[in-house]
Structure formats: structure tokens, C-alpha cells
Amino acid sequence: MDFDFKKPLSLYIHIPVCNAKCDYCAFYSVPKSKIEKSAIQAYTDGICQQIEDLTKQMDMPFYTAFIGGGNPGCLTVDQLEQICKSVCKNGRPVEFTTEINPESLTEEHERLFEKYLNRISMGVQSLDENALSYMGRNVTLKQTLRGIDLACKTKKNTGCSLSFDMITCLPDFHNPVEDLQNLLNQCKEVQPDHLSVYALTPEEGTPFYKRLEEKKTQDLPNSDEQAEILTKIWAFLKDKGYEHYEVSNFAKKGKESLHNSVYWNYGQYVGLGPGAHSRAFKNGTVTAYEVHGNIASQSVESTVLTKEQALEEFVLMGLRHKQGLDLNRLENEFGYNMKLLKDRILDGYSIKNGRLVPDDNGLLISDAAALEILH
């Protein structure tokens, strides 16, 4: 992969293993029981080799790094450390996150947060037993509560940043605000710095999708009901001191995800592992890379994006977050005709300090706003 190593480079590492599959999940991952221990070690070694090949070409650390999945907690702590060490060969990234499922976090992980990592992203999804069972989640409520307690303890002991993922827009048996309040109550001594709250989306091919299609489960709320739920959540989290800075993301002041901001600001990043994506910016061209394959073998497909494709990605990503779209880059890097812009700005967006920024209403219609600009 051909990156401009003089520019900041962020790193995403995909760990395609889970303890078991959740019914709603369409990400590529293999249940741990179906894979040999030696295959997980071989995968870890392969990832470390790729990281080290990259660090040899760089004279600075990765800007940000994110170990995601799957569930990186399915690796042993030693295997995770092996990856962390490779990532930090040239120094520690400013933000270094690992995702981890509640059932997998242990006290032993704390040493990784002392030496390498500085952010936990934990998929809680819900503290409502009915919701966990409706979604076909692979973790029990008891395991989830234990994981939250341990994540809070890790933050207290190491000063790392803490983010939880929650799922919402479930049928009316679920009270989304109460669910979030229960999460905050569970975090007694420390509060999460960051929350990602996603609407449950039925993905074709998943057991959850099949259940819905066969009418074997209660239907999801329609789009008006979903908008109502999201508005309630936004008001609740604002009241608790979280800024709504991206369509699905909320943070305490200064605690926005730097890694995800690289995607939204259309920065340079490399993705390793099956299904991972990369964007390389070199000599005025944008090259997209996609990793195909599975845990045992992978290949990389590269595509040089046309100006139009790069512009489309830049606008779609830029309008999703409160920092907004950089109009200087829009004109100079992507050749957009700025005379057309004024008539194409939808309500909910306005120009501030050289950027096109959304308010809360704008965030609800960011895709439509992008299409209008790309018209």
C-alpha cells in the first residue's frame, strides 16, 4: 500500500474473532470455538509483521490507532500486547483504543493501559434483559455489568478514556433513556467520556433479519418513531453534559474520538485484517484499499478514486460531524465550484469559520444534505 509517510497516518486493526455471534451482527468474525488457537497466533503474528513493515517506512508514530473487531478480547493479553508493542515501535499514538466486549475484559488487561493503550471502547449495547434477548446479543446482563465495573476500575487506575456503545430504536418495550440512565448509574466513581448510540439496523443475512422477515419478532419502530427516540436521547445526553458531535456519537468536552475524526475529516488511514479499508493520499490522488479474505488468508484490492468519487466521500463524511466540512479543501483539493454551494445548503447547516457545519437538526439529515451539495 502506497501511503504518504510524511503525512499523519492512522491505523485500524481488525480482530475477526468473537466468543459467539450476535444475531444482529453482519461484521466478519469467526466464533472462537470454531478456530484453532494456533490460527489466532498466526493471525496475530501476520498483523504484527504488517505493522512493522509500515513503521519501518515512517519516522513518526501512528497518529491514532484502533484495535477493533470482532472482539479483540478474544486474543490473550500477551497477544494483544504483542500487537500494542508493534504499534508503538515509533512511539505511542496520541489516541490508542481497543474495543473489548464486557465478558472479555480482565484485571490483567490493566497493564496494557499503563504502557500502550489510552482508551477503551466497550460494546455494552443495552442493560435491558429484554433488549439483549430481542437482539440475540452474545453476552448476558450479568457479564455486561461486570465488564462495565471493570472498565470503570481500569479508567480509575490508569486514567484511560472510556467509551461505551449502546443500541437503540428498539420496539416500545424498551425505554432508551432509562437504559442510558442505568448505564450512567452503573458507573459509580467515574463517568464515561464518550458514548456511541446506534439505531438497530436489520442487516440482510443475519438471524435477526430473518426473524423480522418471518414476523417471528416484534417490528422495529418506523422512521418517524426512530427520529422521536433519537431526539429524546440527544436531549437526555445533552442534559448529562455530553456534546452531540457526530450523528451517533456524544462526548464530554475534549473527549471526542480522534481516530474516528480522521475518517470524518477525510484523513489518511491504513486498515489491516479482513474487511478493513484504507485511504492513501499521495501526489494529489486518493487510493482506496480493501482487504478481502478471512482469518487464514487475505488479499488487498486497490482502486485509485476518481475526483468525483473522492469528492463524494469527502462531503458525505464531512457533513456527519459538528466540525463540519472544510470549504477550503472542498474548493482547492476537490475542485468544487463554490458559486453553486449557496443554493445547495439545506436547513440545519450554516457556514461558520470556513466550514459548513450542522446543528442537531442537520445531523439528522446529513446524507440528504450531502446529496444536495453533490447534486
Enumerate binding residues for ligand SF4 (CB under 6 A). Answer: 18, 21-22, 25, 27, 29, 69-71, 101, 123, 138
Whether 134 and 158 have beta carbons less than 8 Å apart is answered as no
Closest to ligand SF4 by CB, 22 vs 170, is 22
Whether 361 and 349 have beta carbons less than 8 Å apart is answered as no
Which residues sit opposite 15 in a β-bridge? 69
Distance (Å, whole) CA 228 – CA 223: 9
Minimum CB distance to ligand SF4, residue 140 (Å): 13
* Residue closest to ligand SF4, measured at CB: 25
Closest to ligand SF4 by CB, 166 vs 315, is 166
Closest to ligand SF4 by CB, 135 vs 237, is 135
Distance (Å, whole) CA 257 – CA 10: 12
Minimum CB distance to ligand SF4, residue 16 (Å): 9
Minimum CB distance to ligand SF4, residue 149 (Å): 19
Minimum CB distance to ligand SF4, residue 27 (Å): 5
Minimum CB distance to ligand SF4, residue 259 (Å): 17
Closest to ligand SF4 by CB, 71 vs 249, is 71
Closest to ligand SF4 by CB, 23 vs 290, is 23
Closest to ligand SF4 by CB, 158 vs 163, is 163
Minimum CB distance to ligand SF4, residue 71 (Å): 5
Closest to ligand SF4 by CB, 83 vs 124, is 124
Q: How many CB atoms lie within 10 A of CB 234?
A: 17
Minimum CB distance to ligand SF4, residue 104 (Å): 9
Minimum CB distance to ligand SF4, residue 151 (Å): 15
Closest to ligand SF4 by CB, 101 vs 366, is 101
Whether 153 and 160 have beta carbons less than 8 Å apart is answered as no
